[in-house]
Amino acid sequence: MNVRSLLFLLLISPLLPDLGAQDGFTDQTRALYILDISKYVTFDESIREDEEFTISILSENLDLYWELENLAKTRKTVQDRPIRILVNPDLKELTPGHVVYVNKEEGFRIAAVLERISGKHTLLISEGYPFRSSMINFVVIDGEPRFEANEELMRQEGLFVNELFLAQAVKTREDWEALYERTEEELEKEKIITEQQSRLISMQQEQIEDQQDIIAEQQEIITEQQGLIRTNEEILSSLRSEIVVREQEITEQSRIMRIQEDEMAEQANVIARQTDEVTAQRQVLEQQAGEIASKEQSIAEKELKIEQQDRSLVLQAEAIQKQRIIIYASVMTLLLLTGLVYFIWKNYQNKKKANLLLKAQRDQIAYQKKHITDSINYAKKIQTAILPSMELFSEKLDHFVLFKPRDIVSGDFYWVEEVDQHWVIIAADCTGHGVPGAFMSMLGVSLLNEIVRVKKIIQPDQILNVLREKIIIALKQKKDSRIMDGMDMAVCTLDLGSGALLFSGAMNPLYHLTNGTVNQVKADNMPVAIHESMAPFTLHEVKLNAGDTFYTFSDGFIDQFGGPLQKKYMAKNFRKYLLSIQDQSMIEQGKLLDREFENYRKEMEQVDDVLVIGVRFRESREGYPNSSPSK
């Protein structure tokens, strides 16, 4: 090898490319990725109405368009539809279609593209944009084409991908930052190579100067090698141009990194604004909590005023009653004195006749009374027969039933049934009491037997909805009908295995006692009958812990008049008393409630039928006390 050949190799060897390096994404690779990804995405149901599968490219360059066109002729269909490729150089004229591809080098803002396709159920595939700013974003890692997927943006447009697809994506910000770290390392290596090339060029220039000295000494050799020197100079000029290009590329990459830093700063500002909004919302919530506390205090004051008004009404009723008695007595006395003279002699003449007539009427009334009483007593036997046993499910749970009809027969009734290891427990209060209420209770029991035992409906809200429909049909009720009879009802379904308690109520709530507190599960404000509101009943779920108790009841207990002021017992006193007897067994609780009711009522007449059901939940069925109802 002569001196000229050695010099040429030294000049060009640093600039030879790495023949084994990866090129990353090419138009052919992009086309393959776009069609393959489109195949693995599940689109919205609206795709069924489209005859073609449309792919739009945001670009003025047609190279990717022809790659997709050629590949589409081979693939023929995507999502079982012919493939149609469109090119849009302007975002305003973009036809979203099913897939849109955009490269950051084209200069489009990704946020503007997302806004343009929003609501069109379109998959956005991008390249070179920041992490999680697009749905599918192409990146190059270690010279290999990869992609990152943003499931959240895809779900917003009704698009879904399978787990196998997601496993191939760059999933986390750590992966993305690692990608940029590798890019920075490659840039640093490129800078080192450039510096090495510069030093090598300097060395080469020194060698050229040495050669020039040799050329000065060897004029004949210089003459022969002038052409070769000119060629080497051209090579040096080309190398310098390539170095300038490399420096420009490094400058461009630095500019891109500065843009990315600006975007990260903007994201930090967004996070700061969101933090301020959360703080403002927390202040609003604290203000609302203060307003709620103020309203609760106002409600307590109103309840105190209502109690005072009830007390005043009772006193006024007593005074009015006394005045009526005095007036009636005065009028009766005056009438008696006026007609006394006339009736004395008239009664004497008719005394024997009247005595005979009175005796006959007394016998007839006694017979009718006995007949009616016998009929009501027989009705009580029928009602008792159709109601469940008072023991309910004593071997299953610790419980009591307090059942106190106002008359011989009752408008309140209780009902229980076991279906597939679920216990359906019902406390109902029919319109009226006595015989009319008993008729309604028999209708309710009959319909419940059909709904639960025959049709196997055990979800409380469904039981109430179906029962309401059947009562409306049975009583022929209409919106403008005068027959508004129905029933208030609390329905519970208890799963003894899991402790799950389902509840729905028509006017009557559920009390759940746990850890020394009373939780009231409210009922819907509509009866099981025709009503101005006919919405479906609400289903509530309560998780019972071992030792928890729950109670369903009619309004007879809390509406009873009595006490020193002869006013209603009230729901809040009922809750307080239930809390005070939680350390007692359920049998004893039933007895204590009966005693509390009678002590409060004293000589006052019972105003309504009374029904209270209490149940204590245990995790195990072993060791339960034998329960019996409170009477």
Q: Does 439 score more than 80 pLDDT? A: yes
Higher-confidence residue: 589 or 91? 589
Which of the four pLDDT bands, split at 50, 70 and 90, describes residue 102? very high
Calculate the CA 527 to chain-centre distance: 27
Strand ranges (E), 17-63: 41-42, 53-58
Is the entire prediction scored with pTM above 0.75? Answer: no
Q: CATH code for 27-171?
A: 3.40.50.2300
What percentage of residues in the chain have a pLDDT greater than 70?
Answer: 86
Mean pLDDT, the chain, integer = 83
Which range scores top for mean pLDDT: 3-12, 237-246, 386-395, 544-553?
544-553
DSSP 3-state assignment of 397?
coil
Spatial distance between the Cα atoms of 381 and 391, rounded to a whole number of angstroms = 17
Which pLDDT score, from 0 to 100, does residue 227 have?
A: 79
Which pLDDT score, from 0 to 100, does residue 624 have?
A: 39
CATH class as words, domain 389-616: alpha beta
Which of the four pLDDT bands, split at 50, 70 and 90, describes residue 174? low
Which of the four pLDDT bands, split at 50, 70 and 90, describes residue 5? very low
**Residues 437-447: what's their mean pLDDT?**
89
Which pLDDT score, from 0 to 100, does residue 471 have?
A: 93
Question: What are the structure tokens assigned to 211, written together?
Answer: 């050669």
Which pLDDT score, from 0 to 100, does residue 416 have?
A: 92
Q: Dihedral of the CA atoms 386, 387, 390, 391 (nearest 10)? A: 80
Q: Does 2 score more than 70 pLDDT? A: no
Higher-confidence residue: 598 or 392? 598
DSSP 3-state assignment of 298?
helix
Residues 6+ apart with CB under 8 A from 512: 501, 518, 519, 520, 521, 542, 544, 548, 549, 550
Backbone angles phi, psi at 168, to 5 degrees: -90, -5
What DSSP letter does each residue of 203-217 carry, written as one string? HHHHHHHHHHHHHHH
Calculate the CA 108 to chain-centre distance: 39
What percentage of residues in the chain have a pLDDT greater than 90?
Answer: 38
Which range scores top for mean pLDDT: 108-112, 168-172, 488-492?
488-492
Residue 148, CA atoms < 13 Å, CB-side half-sphere? 23
Whether 322 and 328 have beta carbons less than 8 Å apart is answered as no
Which of the four pLDDT bands, split at 50, 70 and 90, describes residue 345? confident
Which pLDDT score, from 0 to 100, does residue 623 have?
A: 39
Single out the residue of 278, 292, 264 nearest to residue 176, CA to CA: 264
Lowest mean pLDDT among 146-160, 188-202, 207-221, 522-536: 188-202
Which pLDDT score, from 0 to 100, does residue 9 have?
A: 32
Which pLDDT score, from 0 to 100, does residue 588 have?
A: 96
Q: What is the pLDDT of residues 544-555, one digit of tens each?
A: 999 999 999 999
Q: Where are the domains of the chain?
A: 3-16+180-274, 27-171, 389-616
Does an H or E element contain 491, and which? strand 487-495
Which of the four pLDDT bands, split at 50, 70 and 90, describes residue 7? very low
Q: Does 450 score more than 50 pLDDT? A: yes
Which pLDDT score, from 0 to 100, does residue 396 have?
A: 67
Which pLDDT score, from 0 to 100, does residue 8 have?
A: 34
Higher-confidence residue: 621 or 446? 446
**Residues 504-524: what's their mean pLDDT?**
96
Which of the four pLDDT bands, split at 50, 70 and 90, describes residue 514? very high
Which pLDDT score, from 0 to 100, does residue 398 have?
A: 82
Which range scores top for mean pLDDT: 183-197, 205-219, 295-309, 579-593?
579-593
DSSP 3-state assignment of 139?
strand
Which of the four pLDDT bands, split at 50, 70 and 90, describes residue 175? low
Q: Does 4 score more than 70 pLDDT? A: no
Instruction: Residue 562: count other Cβ atoms within 10 Å of its Cβ.
Output: 20
Which pLDDT score, from 0 to 100, does residue 507 have?
A: 95
- Identify any residues that bridge with 521 across adjacent strands, giving them in sequence order: 510
DSSP 3-state assignment of 337?
helix
Which pLDDT score, from 0 to 100, does residue 21 have?
A: 31
Which of the four pLDDT bands, split at 50, 70 and 90, describes residue 11? very low
Q: What is the pLDDT of residues 300-338, one digit of tens each?
A: 888 888 888 878 888 888 888 888 888 888 788 888 877
Lowest mean pLDDT among 59-68, 246-255, 369-378: 369-378
Which pLDDT score, from 0 to 100, does residue 3 have?
A: 38
Which of the four pLDDT bands, split at 50, 70 and 90, describes residue 601? very high
Which of the four pLDDT bands, split at 50, 70 and 90, describes residue 383? low
Which pLDDT score, from 0 to 100, does residue 247 have?
A: 83
